Amino acid sequence: MSTTDQQPQVKLDRAELARRDPTDQLTDVLAIPEHLRDALWKVESAALSPWDSAGGLVVAGMGGSGIGGRLARAILGDQASRPILSVGEYALPPWTTPDTTVLCASYSGSTEETLACFEAAGIVGARRVVASSGGRLSELARAEGVPVIPFAGGLQPRAAVAYVTVAALEVAALCGAAPRMTTEIDVAADHLEQLVQAWGPDAGEESEAKVLARGLHGSVPVIAGAGLTGSIAYRWKTQINENAKQPAFAALLPELDHNEIVGWTSAQRYGRFSAVFLDDSDDTPQVSRRIALTREIVETSAAGTFVVPSRGQSSVERAFSLVLLGDLVSVYLAALNDEDPGTIDAIDRLKAGLHDGE
């Protein structure tokens, strides 16, 4: 791991982070292990019986509520036996039929795109399931006899990543699109508790999460993933966007080696860009070789280059190890940027403008 010459003097300890994080977003990140366990219980509380959807599963959701479908698909990998697709727009795929299950995920229950997908799924006669903490979506679901998987309240939607991912994994199993991952989720929760100790606010300043945040500070991170880590790279990007209030971008290997790598050769003309490569132990040798070579090529123009390995045995463990690390890095970056990770003023302004136009 390389770092830039900039070393901010802000201490990333619990006291300083509490001062810079008035809504305590850090606590929600540290609670991801418990969120995984609670998410399983909440799926059980919905009392869903298995059914068969030959058309597979569509997960409709936006932002923090939509990432769970992407992560679930990545975690399942070649264990998925039927199509599993995430959509983040107003419409379902045109091939959605009554043989398809549609999971509509919206933490607030008021996301207009997800509400539109809920209505569209009803029109085509698809099997519907809702995952939400309440709002209009839950009201409509209960009125129409659609089962609701509840989320814990009081969170920012992006902090509910464990809930929405577990909901997607469990619904995939219930509709016959994939095997159940209950045991793997339980084991992953135990594993993440150890990583919280290693990377959390009480760890030393030399801990990986804090060193990485300092290395990325003052630059625009570009996070690359492949296979399992492709969706996690996107999660890192969005968490840095929302928590740290700074630009960040995500890319996919091997695709970026066919285009983006050329742009890196002149990156210094346009600003300070850092390259982060998420490296999974289950990557193919070709991907591992591409990470090494790509890093070698871009590092002369990058403000910093970093290879970040996943931890754990199962795909659930490895995926959530990187989710946890990325979430912590984003909160630490917020502190270094002197930003409140809880506020999302630009999104609030956009929503207000959309409603004003109605």
- Greatest C-alpha distance within the chain: 59
pTM of the entire predicted model: 0.95
Neighbour order of strands in the sheet with 273-279: 249-252, 220-225, 273-279, 304-309
CATH for 111: 3.40.50.10490
Amino acid at 131: A
pLDDT tier for residue 5 given thresholds of 50, 70 and 90: very low
Domain finish residue from 118, 150, 180 = 180
The mean pLDDT of the chain is 95
Q: Residue 206: give the domain boundaries.
A: 14-22+201-336
pLDDT at 47: 94
For residue 277, count CB atoms less than 10 angstroms from its CB and return exposed for 0-12, middle for 13-18, buried for 19 or more. buried
Instruction: Please give the average per-residue pLDDT across 205-233, as a whole number.
Output: 97
**The total number of structural domains that make up the chain:** 2
Mean pLDDT over residues 281-290, rounded?
Answer: 95
Q: Alpha carbon 102 to chain centroid distance?
A: 20
Helices 182-199 and 315-336 pack at an angle, to 10 degrees, of 30
In a domain, 262, yes or no: yes
Cα gap 82→51, rounded to integer Å: 14
pLDDT for 169 beyond 70: yes
Q: Are 12 and 335 in contact (CB under 8 A)?
A: yes
Token code pair at residue 160 = 């509910």
Query: Is 271 found in the same domain as 303?
Result: yes
Give residue 57's identity as a one-letter amino acid code: L
Mean pLDDT on 49-55: 97
Rg of the chain over all Cα atoms, to the nearest angstrom? 20
Average pLDDT over residues 199-218: 97
Can you give the pLDDT at residue 286? 96
Do 155 and 48 belong together in one domain? yes
Measured from the Cβ of residue 246, the count of other Cβ atoms closer than 10 Å reads 20
**Inside any domain, residue 139:** yes
Minimal CA–CA distance to 43: which of 147, 155, 184, 176?
A: 147
Which tokens sit at 317?
């463990």
Is residue 223 helix, strand or coil? strand
Q: What is the pLDDT of residue 356?
A: 63
The per-residue pLDDT for 274 is 98
Q: Is 352 among the domain residues?
A: no
- What does residue 79 show for φ and ψ, rounded to 5 degrees? -80, -15
Query: Per the domain annotation, does 190 fall within a domain?
Result: no
In this structure, the answer to whether residues 268 and 176 fall within a common structural domain is: no
Q: Are residues 219 and 92 in the same domain?
A: no
Q: What is the pLDDT of residues 171-200, one digit of tens each?
A: 999 999 999 999 999 999 999 999 999 999
Sign of the Cα torsion 50, 52, 57, 62 reads: negative
| 159 domain-assigned | yes
Instruction: With respect to residue 342, please indicate whether it lies within any of the assigned structural domains.
Output: no
217 shares a domain with 108:
no
- Domain annotation covers residue 155: yes
DSSP state string for 157-194: GGGGHHHHHHHHHHHHHHTTSS---HHHHHHHHHHHHH
Q: Say yes or no to pLDDT of 2 above 80.
A: no
Residues 287 and 164 in one domain: no
- Does 18 share its domain with 47? no
188, 169 Cβ separation under 8 angstroms: no
143 and 215 housed in the same domain? no
Asked if 237 and 166 sit in the same domain, the reply is no
Query: In terms of residues, how long is the chain?
Result: 358
pLDDT exceeds cutoff 60 at 122: yes
Identify whether residues 126 and 242 lie together within a single domain: no
Question: 143: Cβ–Cβ under 8 A, 6 or more apart, which residues?
Answer: none
CA–CA separation, 83 and 58 (whole Å) = 8
Catalytic sites, residue numbers: 242, 258, 351
Averaged pLDDT for residues 77-104:
96
Amino acid sitting at position 48: L
Count other C-beta atoms under 10 Å from residue 51's C-beta.
Answer: 11
Token pair 């002369």 in the structure block, residue? 300
Neighbouring CB atoms inside 10 A of 165's CB total 30
| Nearest-angstrom CA–CA distance, 257 and 332 | 30
In a domain, 301, yes or no: yes
CA angle 180, 185, 191 (to 5 degrees): 155
Averaged pLDDT for residues 54-69: 96
Among candidate residues 20, 291, 225, 205, the one with its CA nearest the CA of residue 213: 205
pLDDT at 355: 77
For the chain, the straight-line distance linking the first and the last C-alpha, in angstroms and rounded, comes to 50
Give the per-residue pLDDT at 222: 98
Please state, in angstroms and rounded to a whole number, the distance separating the CA atoms of residues 2 and 9: 18
Same domain, residue pair 166 and 35 = yes
Structure-token pair, residue 125: 């006669």
| Mean pLDDT, rounded, for 79-85 | 97
Of the CA atoms within 13 Å of residue 157, those in its CB half-sphere come to 23
State whether 127 and 222 are in the same domain.
no
